Amino acid sequence: MPAIKDVARRAGVSVATVSRVLNDHPSVRVDTRERVLAAVADLGYRPNAVARSLRTDQTRALGLVISDVLNPFFTELARSVEDAARELDYSVVIGNADERPDLQDHHVRTLMDRRIDGLLVSPTDGGSPMMLAAARAGTPMVFVDRWIEGEGLDRVPVVRTDGQGAIRALVAHLCALGHRRVAIIAGPAATTTGRERVAAFRSALRESGLALSADLIGQGDFQADSGRRVTARFLDLPHPPDAIFAADNLMALGAMDEIRARGLRVPDDVALAAFDDIPWFVHTDPPITAIAQPTGALGRAAVTALIDLVEGRPAESVTLSARLVTRRSCGESEGSTP
Amino acid sequence: MPAIKDVARRAGVSVATVSRVLNDHPSVRVDTRERVLAAVADLGYRPNAVARSLRTDQTRALGLVISDVLNPFFTELARSVEDAARELDYSVVIGNADERPDLQDHHVRTLMDRRIDGLLVSPTDGGSPMMLAAARAGTPMVFVDRWIEGEGLDRVPVVRTDGQGAIRALVAHLCALGHRRVAIIAGPAATTTGRERVAAFRSALRESGLALSADLIGQGDFQADSGRRVTARFLDLPHPPDAIFAADNLMALGAMDEIRARGLRVPDDVALAAFDDIPWFVHTDPPITAIAQPTGALGRAAVTALIDLVEGRPAESVTLSARLVTRRSCGESEGSTP
DNA sequence: CCTCCTTGTGGAATCGATTACATGAGATTG
DNA sequence: CAATCTCATGTAATCGATTCCACAAGGAGG
């Protein structure tokens, strides 16, 4: 693999001149530039990004640590982040934490070691030590979807979706269909989305004159299995719920598994709704009512904020809103509410 | 961010000694080592991977260029690749080609510029120039799932799944259920999986005494939309097929969309089967019969082969087999055939 | 015609690590 | 006791770029 000095030798100039051509510095005579470009083409030379990064102290790479790649929501997010970053000439290095704090820490550490220019995180737990260290060290950092609080983290912008309105719409929808005893499969209390969705659900219920009793709050971990376990517990109750709201799509899948395994039907025996909409929800039996996040916009906003930070501009938190997409899993009534 | 010389200064030794401690070189006195380690801890020092890579000419990073992140098959593959790589202390940098040759080229170029140690590719088209260049330049490279042929590419190992047996089982299954006029939504002819699946399907049909007429081969591109378009064409035929086999899961999704949009039912009006099994297929209406690939094993085998290459050992191609998982989308009969 | 700019180019320091080679102290050996 | 070897450590070159500074040539202005 040819280096800059090979190009210089072949073009009969110094490495400094080659570098100037490569970074199109103005003061290079046209014929010299052409000679250099010809040498570059002849040799198939490509600048070594590693060397360049060492010298310039920037990698033009962003790190994205997500909680679970197998969750379509995060896959879509990752895709939109990559698209947005590519347009600004940045690469994205993804780390999958698999909802495990230790893995999350591993990825943050590796990314920092590789000196990525900025970090996009959707934290799994409350206070990963590496993340705190990174934030304190002044690494440009933005939280997406979920965030954490902590010393030194108050200046980290948060790009997220507010589900309150959509959850209120969902509760109204459930009430209108006659459901009164509704349960929630919550996400981990260590995550903001885990807590917020429960809180929003509870207050929406209260507004509709319903209460969320303790035995109808099940603790899940955003993965399918936990949805299944929690649902089993709900259905074993002497007085089981007539509607279940899963705080993410994977847990809804698990819930559906369990309901079906017991020979029960959705929505006749239990209604089901999920946070996070995905293409497959249209095709399940029955199609599942869900709260959709604007994933594309979320990813773009996160990248914009992060790159503002990276390039020394101030960045602000962004909150987008989710919307309810009603299908048949809570009872008859098709259509979507904006 | 502290550098090695800061550690050296604080420990009262030279940078060489610090480096030796960090790479646990044997000849360092125990008390010196402890002093250095203490300095490292005090400063929260982490070696700069960029500098290290420049010097050692290895990044301990692998590139993975996949055709489409939104396709659950590739997401699962990416996840298993990352898991396997992490165990061997390598990071994985993913590039999503989105089934676009230009994007694929972009990612291969970026990864090469960043001097990744090896490249795992599931090629989108026939002969991306950068990929050929990379292979010729001697970059360790392994094809996963799909592969391409070309000058200089004959020594690139291929880790893939052979679907012939499973496809034969699928055809037998369709025949047993009385389907005679079967169609296929093929993948791009530029991809091996695109061609192979059609070929295997055709020869399995022949073995069962059926022919695959030209109007029942639709050209798709492995994305949902194309599945929908091709299905529309099939259903507009004066004599439409009674079974459709989609060469991947996204096209099956598109097919299902179109079938449903016309008010037809699966499997009563048309049977449907797909290549690539995914968790959601259990929950669609009806559950979809699919051919499952051993994704985890595929990813692990690919990483093993690539790292063998990276570390100078010879590597071999690996072929695993797929298996048919029958559900209800082709007609009654539940269960799975190994 | 001398001085002062401007323009184009080269030399060399630099980024943060690794590592071959040099060095000095102490141990071993004949 | 001199010669040699071993061990622990330091000095400095190196990887491949970028960039500050120096410098030469030519043009402009007085």
What pLDDT, in 10s, does the model give residues B22-66?
A: 999 988 999 999 999 999 999 999 999 999 999 999 999 999 999
Q: Are A150 and A301 in contact (CB under 8 A)?
A: no
End-to-end CA distance of chain A: 55
| pLDDT greater than 80 at residue B269 | yes
Q: Is the pLDDT of residue B170 over 80?
A: yes
pLDDT classification of B333: cutoffs 50, 70, 90: low
Burial of A291 (0-12, 13-18, 19+ CB in 10 A): buried
More confident residue, B129 or B277: B277
**Rounded to whole angstroms, how far apart are CA atoms A187 and A68?**
13
pLDDT at A336 over 80: no
Q: How far is the CA of A210 from the C1' of D9 (A)?
A: 75
Report if residue B52 sits inside a domain: no
Contact predicate A100/A116, CB 8 Å: no
A52 lies in a domain?
no
- Residue A9 CA from chain centroid, whole number: 48
Please state the rounded mean pLDDT for residues B144-166.
92
Q: Is residue B53 part of a domain?
A: no
**A103 shares a domain with A138:** yes
CA distance B15 to chain A (A): 18
Backbone angles phi, psi at B306, to 5 degrees: -65, -45
CA of B13, C1' of D10: distance in angstroms? 9
Q: Which residue of B has its CA nearest to A79?
A: B69
How high is the mean pLDDT of chain B?
Answer: 93
Q: What is the pLDDT of residue B321?
A: 96
Q: How far is the CA of A311 from the C1' of D24 (A)?
A: 38
* Phi/psi of residue A173, nearest 5 degrees: -60, -45
Is B263 part of any domain? yes
Residues B179, B37 share a domain: no
A40 and A102 both lie in a single domain: no
Strand C nucleotides, any atom under 7 Å to a protein CB: 7-12, 14-20
User: Is the C-beta of residue B49 closer than 7 Å to nucleic acid chain C?
Assistant: no
3-state secondary structure A176-243: HCCCCCEEEEECCCCCHHHHHHHHHHHHHHHHCCCCCCHHHEEECCCCHHHHHHHHHHHHHCCCCCCE
Contact assessment for residue A284 and residue B283, using Cβ atoms and an 8 Å cutoff? yes
Task: Output the furthest CA–CA distance in chain A (Å, rounded).
Answer: 87
Contact A231, A254 (CB under 8 A): yes
pLDDT band at B207 (very low <50, low <70, confident <90, very high): very high
Element (H, E) at A96: strand A91-96
Q: Which two structure tokens, joined as six digits, stand for A136?
A: 């304190």
Give CA A94 to chain center in angstroms: 11
Q: What is the pLDDT of residues B208-243, one digit of tens each?
A: 999 898 999 999 999 999 999 999 999 999 999 999
Instruction: Give A144's strand partners.
Output: A159
Name the nt closest to B5 by C-alpha to C1': C16
**Domain containing A12 — which CATH number?**
1.10.260.40
Residues A155 and A204 both lie in one domain = no
Q: Residue A333's pLDDT band (boundaries 50, 70, 90)?
A: low
- Does residue B7 have a pLDDT over 80? yes
Q: Closest-CA residue in chain B for A89?
A: B110
**A contacts of B105 (beta carbons < 8 Å):** none
DSSP A26-87: S-S-HHHHHHHHHHHHHHT----HHHHHHHHT--SEEEEEES-TTSHHHHHHHHHHHHHHHH
d(CA B159, CA B144): 5
pLDDT at B232: 97
Closest CA to A282 of B204, B107, B260, B46: B260
Residue with the two structure tokens 């005579």:
A29
Mean pLDDT of A285-312: 96
CB contact B68 to A (< 8 Å) = no
pLDDT score at B285: 80
Distance from CA of A47 to the nearest CA of B (A): 7
For residue A56, which of A15, A115, A140, A108 has the smallest C-alpha distance?
Answer: A115
C23 C1' to B12 CA distance, Å:
18
Q: Residue A64: which of B92, B73, B306 has the closest Cα?
A: B92
Answer yes or no: do B53 and A50 touch at CB < 8 A: yes
Range of the domain at B9: 4-47
pLDDT at A55: 97
Q: Give the mean model confidence (pLDDT) for residues B116-123.
A: 96
**Do residues A142 and A73 both lie within one domain?**
yes
| Token digits of residue A251 | 């847990």
- Give the residue from A80, A130, A259, A283 with the most B CB atoms within 10 Å of its CB, the best one to mutate: A283
Nearest Cα neighbor of A292 from A321, A319, A323, A337 is: A323
The verdict on A137 and A203 lying in the same domain is: no
| pLDDT given at position B293 | 97
- B132 domain-assigned: yes
What is the pLDDT, as a whole number, of residue A51? 98
Least confident of A130-139, B28-37, B243-252: A130-139
Judgement on whether residues A290 and A280 belong to the same structural domain of the protein: yes
Sign of the alpha-carbon dihedral angle for B214, B220, B226, B227: positive
**Best CA proximity match to A324, nearest among A282, A296, A293:** A293
For the segment A55-76, the average pLDDT, to the nearest whole number, is 96
In the predicted structure, residue A80 carries a pLDDT above the cut 50: yes
- Nearest by CB: B75 against A75, A283, A286: A75
Contact B166, B324 (CB under 8 A): yes
Lowest-confidence segment of A144-153, A292-301, B123-132, B133-142 by average pLDDT = B123-132
Q: Could you tell me which residue, A20 or B27, shows the higher pLDDT?
A: A20
**Nearest nt by C1' to B30 Cα:** D8
- The pLDDT assigned to A60 comes to 97
Percentage of residues of chain A with pLDDT beyond 70: 98
Is the alpha carbon torsion for A109, B107, B124, B100 positive or negative?
positive
| CA–C1' B4–C20 (A) | 19
Nearest CA in chain B to A48: B113
Would you list the DSSP string of B135-160? HHTT--EEEES-----TT-TTS-EEE
How far apart CA B206 and CA A68 sit, in angstroms, is: 44
Q: Is the residue at A196 inside a domain? A: yes
**According to the model, what pLDDT value does residue B117 have?**
98
Are A175 and A290 within one domain? yes
Q: State residue A128's pLDDT score.
A: 78
Domain tally, chain B:
3
For chain D, which bases have at least one atom within 7 A of a protein Cβ?
Answer: 7-12, 14-20
First and final CA of chain B: distance in angstroms?
55
How does pLDDT run across B88-115, given as a tens digit for each residue? 999 999 999 998 999 999 999 999 999 9
**Confidence class for position B336, pLDDT limits 50, 70, 90:** very low
Assess whether A174 and A257 both reside in one domain. Answer: yes
Does a cis peptide bond (omega within 30 degrees of 0) precede residue A140?
A: no
Residues of A in Cβ contact (< 8 Å) with B59: 50
CA of B261 to C1' of C1 (A): 92
Most B-contacting residue of A4, A22, A50, A53 (CB-CB within 10 A), to test interface: A50
Least confident residue range of A148-157, A316-325, B314-323:
A148-157
Spatial contact of B170 and B197, defined as CB atoms under 8 Å apart: no
**Contacts of residue A53 in chain B, CB cutoff 8 Å?**
50
- Structural domain contains residue B82: yes
What's the CATH number where A271 sits? 3.40.50.2300
% chain B with pLDDT above 70: 98
In the chain, the amino acid numbered A269 is D
pLDDT of residue B337: 44
Nucleotide nearest to B54 (CA to C1'): D15
Residue to mutate among B71, B91, B98, with most A CBs inside 10 A, is B91
Nearest by CB to B51, which of A47, A54, A79? A54
The per-residue pLDDT for A150 is 81
Do B305 and B332 lie in a common domain? Answer: no
Separation in Å, CA of A275 to nearest CA in chain B = 16
Cα B248 to Cα B194, B234, B274: the distances in Å are 9, 17, 6
pLDDT of res. B127: 67
Do residues A211 and A328 both lie within one domain? yes
Helix segments in chain B, DSSP class H: 4-11, 15-22, 30-43, 49-56, 72-87, 101-113, 129-136, 164-176, 192-207, 224-236, 249-261, 295-310
Q: Which of A217, A143, A227 is nearest to A182 (CA)?
A: A217
Of B64, B77, B158, residue with least CA distance to B120: B64
Residue A109 near residue A93 (C-beta atoms within 8 A): no
pLDDT over 90 (residue A195):
yes
DSSP class of residue B293?
P
Residue A71 lies in a domain: yes
Q: Which residues touch strand D (CB under 7 A)?
A: A 1, 3-5, 15-16, 19-20, 22-23, 47-48, 51-52, 54-56; B 12-17, 20, 26-29, 31-33, 51, 54-55, 57
Could you tell me which residue, A247 or B337, shows the higher pLDDT?
Answer: A247
Instruction: Verify that B301 and B275 share a domain, yes or no.
Output: no
Rounded to an integer, what is the distance from CA B180 to the centroid of its chain?
33
Token duo for residue A103: 């893995």
Angle between helices B101-113 and B129-136 (to 10 degrees): 30
Residue B329 has pLDDT above 70, yes or no: yes
Write down the pLDDT at residue B126.
67
